[in-house]
Amino acid sequence: MPLNTGKVCSANRFALIFIDSDIIFVLKKGRVVESGTHEKLYEKNGTYREIFNASARSLNLDLISKTLELKSA
């Protein structure tokens, strides 16, 4: 991406966002409640970490269920 440009991403899977983000804004009820890098936000143990962990658990459960489907086929 060229310098002096930006992009806004919205996703329900955090793995799609945090890898290549300089700054992340966490919104709750339309207001920014946290901002920072993935590392800094995760260290805060706040809303970002809560949502990130829920997303990771969901992704892990998706992978487990797909693996079980493949084994049973």
Q: In terms of pTM, does the model score above 0.75? A: no
By DSSP bridging, strand 31-36 and strand 24-28 are: antiparallel
Cβ burial, residue 49 (10 Å; 0-12/13-18/19+): middle
Q: What is the pLDDT of residue 71?
A: 56
Please write the tens of the pLDDT for every residue from 7-59: 777 766 666 666 667 888 888 898 999 999 888 998 999 998 888 888 777 77
